[in-house]
């Protein structure tokens, strides 16, 4: 008997199947999802790191500019040699708190000034003040700098007020006399002289709502005058 060969069946058995099975498709999708998750996680972490670095740089830059401005003003504090009826000279540093945080204020006469008005005839002296107040629009604490180019009978009033620093969480001022004793307040009328040095500590809030303290020590050029 002759054996008949089913050539079509042999051909189909030897032929490799085309396309992918459902299991292969599922495995491929799973691998793709894992890879995409890893890429997204890496990108997200990089973005957060960049954002945190930028926020931290902004905080340090704000602290640097604030301390430099205050140090320049305070170092040029002017010691009054005489008093006039219509002029209040002095150096008044008050120890103060605002909602539980240090919020010291300082008002004094200085030879350091920022020029706001063109053509104004400068006397060489101005009133300068620092204080923390609440911004009425944002309810956030802001450190303000006040400058009055006209010296009058109120050393802590008048002039132009400018915002110096936001995200403020405290300002602490301490004063050193000629013996190195530290005081938390200073009135020229009580002591009859300027402090020898002033320690400035400014607290700013970081991206994690934590306070960072920045401190500098300022020597008063005319403290011994």
Boundaries of every domain in the chain: 56-219
Residue 136 has pLDDT above 70, yes or no: yes
Under the banding of pLDDT at 50, 70 and 90, the label for residue 196 is: very high
* pTM (whole model) above 0.85: no
Residue 87: predicted pLDDT? 65
Tell me the CA distances in angstroms from 188 to 77, 88, 89, 111, one per residue in order: 11, 11, 9, 17
- The pLDDT score that the predictor gives to residue 35 is 82
Q: Do 157 and 131 meet the contact criterion of CB atoms below 8 Å apart?
A: no
pLDDT-derived band at 118, boundaries 50, 70, 90 = low
Rg of the chain's alpha carbons, rounded to an integer?
A: 35
For the chain, give the percent of residues with pLDDT over 90.
Answer: 41
Q: Which residue has the higher pLDDT, 115 or 125?
A: 125
- Work out whether the CA dihedral 87, 183, 113, 141 comes out positive or negative: negative
Q: Residues 77-83: what's their mean pLDDT?
A: 72
Averaged pLDDT, 54-70: 88
Predicted confidence band at 18 (pLDDT cuts at 50, 70, 90)?
low
Of the pLDDT bands very low, low, confident and very high (cuts 50, 70, 90), residue 7 is very low
- The yes-or-no verdict on residue 83 having pLDDT over 60 is no
| Higher pLDDT, residue 157 or 89 | 157
Question: What is the Cα–Cα distance from 161 to 128, expressed in whole angstroms?
Answer: 10
Q: Is the pLDDT of residue 36 over 70?
A: yes
Residue 15 has pLDDT above 60, yes or no: no
Q: Measure the N-to-C terminal CA separation of the chain; round to a whole number of Å.
A: 133
pLDDT band at 33 (very low <50, low <70, confident <90, very high): confident
CB atoms within 10 A of CB 2: 4
pLDDT at residue 174 in the model: 97
Average pLDDT along the chain: 81
């Amino acid at each position: 008997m002759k054996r008949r060969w089913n050539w079509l069946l042999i051909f189909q058995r030897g032929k490799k199947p085309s396309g992918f099975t459902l299991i292969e498709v599922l495995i491929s999708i799973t691998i793709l999802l894992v890879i995409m998750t890893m890429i997204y996680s890496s990108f997200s972490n990089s973005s957060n790191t960049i954002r945190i670095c930028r926020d931290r740089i902004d905080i340090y830059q704000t602290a640097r500019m604030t301390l430099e401005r205050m140090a320049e003003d305070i170092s040029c504090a002017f010691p009054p040699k005489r008093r006039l009826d219509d002029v209040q000279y002095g150096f008044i540093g008050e120890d103060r708190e605002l909602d539980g945080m240090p919020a010291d204020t300082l008002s004094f006469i200085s030879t350091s000034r920022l020029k706001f008005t063109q053509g104004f005839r400068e006397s060489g002296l101005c009133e300068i003040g620092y204080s923390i107040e609440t911004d009425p629009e944002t309810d956030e604490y802001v450190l303000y700098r006040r400058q009055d180019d006209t010296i009058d009978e109120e050393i802590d009033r008048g002039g132009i007020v400018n915002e110096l620093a936001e995200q403020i969480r405290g300002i602490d001022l301490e004063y050193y006399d000629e013996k190195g004793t530290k005081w938390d307040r200073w009135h020229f009328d009580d002591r009859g002289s300027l402090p020898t040095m002033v320690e400035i500590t400014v607290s700013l809030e970081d991206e994690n709502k934590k306070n960072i303290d920045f401190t500098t020590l300022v020597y008063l050029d005319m403290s011994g005058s």
